[in-house]
């Protein structure tokens, strides 16, 4: 039993280490330099949904936002997620950000990157957007 517990613990540590390496190795520079990237998800019927979105990069991670959108519904349904930046696609995991302080940092980064256009669009929002953190999906 102890041997099985140790083996499972070692496997968990290796999995976390490989995920951390994948995230550290991913270069967010091209995404940070673009105004718009594409998020690719699959609709419930299997059709590909390609959605242009704004992106910011904070502390080596990509963040996007949406409100009630089909691609958010796809992500919540556990659709595979890919991003396309400069015609290069990368498999991602998209997770909703619950931390209010991080959401505020993301909002500030969007205001800084997109300026007056972001501020004007914020005036017409019916609700607060859902903030999604993008991380490379490990193989």
pLDDT digits (tens, 9 = 90+) for 6-28: 544 444 444 444 444 444 579 99
Which are the contacts of 83, defined by CB distance < 8 A and separation ≥ 6?
Answer: 31, 37, 38, 39, 40, 62, 89, 90, 92, 134
Q: What is the CATH number of the domain that holds 74?
A: 2.30.110.10
Task: Check residue 22 and give its pLDDT.
Answer: 43
pLDDT at 12: 44
- Has residue 8 been placed in a domain? no
Q: What is the pLDDT of residue 67?
A: 86
Query: Is residue 16 in a domain?
Result: no
pLDDT tens per residue, range 58-115: 999 999 999 889 999 999 999 999 999 999 999 999 999 999 999 999 999 999 998 8
Distance CA 110, CA 67 (A): 15
Q: Containing domain of residue 116, as a range?
A: 27-136
> Rounded distance, CA 22 to CA 82, Å?
15
Question: Is residue 130 one of the residues assigned to a domain?
Answer: yes
In a domain? residue 18: no
| Residue 110 belongs to a domain | yes
State the pLDDT at residue 120.
59
Virtual CA dihedral for 75, 77, 78, 79, nearest 10 degrees? -70
Termini Cα distance of the chain: 29
pLDDT for 68: 82
pTM over 0.85: no
Within-domain flag for 33:
yes
Residue 9 located in a structural domain: no
Q: In total, how many domains does the chain have? A: 1
Indicate whether 55 belongs to any domain.
yes
């Amino acid at each position: 039993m102890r041997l099985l517990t140790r083996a499972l613990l070692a496997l968990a540590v290796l999995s976390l280490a490989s995920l951390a390496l994948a995230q550290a190795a991913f270069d967010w520079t091209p995404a940070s330099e673009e105004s718009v990237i594409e998020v690719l998800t699959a609709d419930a019927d299997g059709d590909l949904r390609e959605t242009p979105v704004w992106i910011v990069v904070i502390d080596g991670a990509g963040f996007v936002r949406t409100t009630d959108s089909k691609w958010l519904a796809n992500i919540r349904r556990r659709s595979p997620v890919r991003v396309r930046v400069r015609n290069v696609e990368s498999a991602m995991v998209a997770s909703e950000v619950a931390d209010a302080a991080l959401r505020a940092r993301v909002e500030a980064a969007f205001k800084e990157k997109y300026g007056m256009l972001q501020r004007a669009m914020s005036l017409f929002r019916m609700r607060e957007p859902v903030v999604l953190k993008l991380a490379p999906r490990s193989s």
